[in-house]
Chain A
Amino acid sequence: MSYTDDTVVLRARGLRKHYGHGQGLVRAVDGVDLDVALGECVAVMGPSGCGKSTLLHLLGGLDRPSSGEVWLGGRRIDQIGERGLARMRRSAVGFVFQAFHLMDELTARENVELSALLAGRSPRAARRRAADLLERVGLADRAGFLPSALSGGQRQRVAIARALSNEPLVVFADEPTGNLDSAATVDVLRLFENLREAGQTLVIVTHDERIAATADRLISMRDGALVDETRLSGGTTGQLGALVGLEG
């Protein structure tokens, strides 16, 4: 079976992830249905422990559900074998984590390049792709630096470049600004805003209201379930004016 609605790039149905048994049973994700459209930016917010990171891992194929279905680009991914899943992760999705997860012994460029190589590009194409992406995240002049020589915000920008190296269908980000100060947060914010405008499909799990506010759609999660959904488009500077007493 497959679905034909080609504007939906990511789909979950009846998704559950349970840990433990009996009294100790934890329903981390408890019956989630979700459709993400091509080019849409979706933010998932909720209190700590609500299951939002687990949900992200299930959607991105980093973890397998206890039950339910995940479809990515028209293909069901919750049942494919380990090798198929690994291939899917290398070629079809990108991840951005709170703790960056860069390879410490590789330079910024090599981190991005490696990811492009693993996705099946030729060494030359991978090098070119890495240079383009580092330029795009404003780090062309830091390409030869090791992560240890970069600030937190710069490391996260390298991680975002890496996540884009295989031209992913979906970029998944888990608390991308969780370790950043306010200036670095604004840099990452700008970058996500640019990606959104360029039509990149994004799913972001976050505590940070500033990141959440850049999304097209905001989903609130509690106790493993999606409880509220909002489209954030629209709004005028008139409302902002009201906020500082400029009306009338």
Chain B
Amino acid sequence: MQQEVVLAMLAKEPSHGYELRARLRHALGPLGEALNPGHVYVTLTRLEKAGLVTSERTDGLADGQDRKVYGLTADGQQRVAEWLAEVSWPKPDLAEFHLKLVAAAAAGLADPLSIVDAQRRELLRRLRDAQRAAMAEPDGSDAALLLEGIVLRLQADLRWLEACEQSWTGRRSRS
């Protein structure tokens, strides 16, 4: 996960690490389980070294790192503003898959259709997991909206695989 995400989660108010983790878990629902709990602290340490975050020790019951309250520096605030304005969208590597089919067919190393089948299998498993997780969310949950996005992207990828299948089936019967 990007450092900017942790940074932006601090923009609301200075917070303990465990509060940050709770905010992430709430926004991500079941996907938050994939987060390594130590990751937030590693990221905070890096951000502090980079001068984007400061920390202050507080007295309290919490142990170790959880005793610190983290807040944004002026540079940190500026970085958050820039990050929010950036347009980015993760790109699945379609070119790599496409070239795999082309290379496999050209070299006669593997049947492009079996490669398509294997890829479809993997995407359908993910689709099934995403759907189950989405159906288990209460109406209007933040995490449900994220899961819907995953479902729609997987559907788009699966449709492209169908186009790959048709195209490579056509090439095989012409040759």
Residues of chain A at the chain B interface (Cβ within 8 Å): 47, 186, 189-190, 193, 209-210, 212-214, 218, 220, 222, 227-228, 230, 232, 234-248
Contacts and interface: CB of A to CB of B under 8 A. Distances in A.
The binding surface of chain B is classed by DSSP as: helix
A213 B39 contact: no
Contact of A240 (B117, B133, B165): B133
* Nearest 7 A/B pairs, CB to CB: A241-B34, A213-B128, A213-B127, A209-B158, A230-B121, A235-B129, A228-B117
A115 B49 CA distance: 72
12 contacts: A47-B162, A189-B131, A193-B132, A210-B155, A228-B117, A237-B31, A239-B129, A240-B126, A241-B33, A243-B130, A244-B146, A246-B28
Interface in B129-161: 129-133, 135, 146-147, 149-151, 153-155, 158-159
Given A245-B90, A248-B1, A210 B31 contact: no
Contact of B151 (A210, A237, A239): A210
Interface residues of B, number: 42
B127 A236 contact: no
A230 to B, nearest CB: 4
Nearest to A189: B131
B155 A240 contact: no
B135 A241 contact: no
B14 interface: no
Nearest to B31: A241
B36 interface: yes
B169 A240 contact: no
A179 B7 CA distance: 46
B65 interface: no
B131 A220 contact: no
A78 B129 CA distance: 38
B126 A235 contact: yes
B36 A222 contact: no
A247 B125 CA distance: 18
Contact of A244 (B31, B135, B166): B31
A190 B151 CA distance: 15
Contacts of B90: 244-245
B110 interface: no
Max chain B C-beta neighbours (<10 A), residue from A47, A212, A232, A243: A243
Contacts of B121: 218, 230, 232
B158 to A, nearest CB: 4
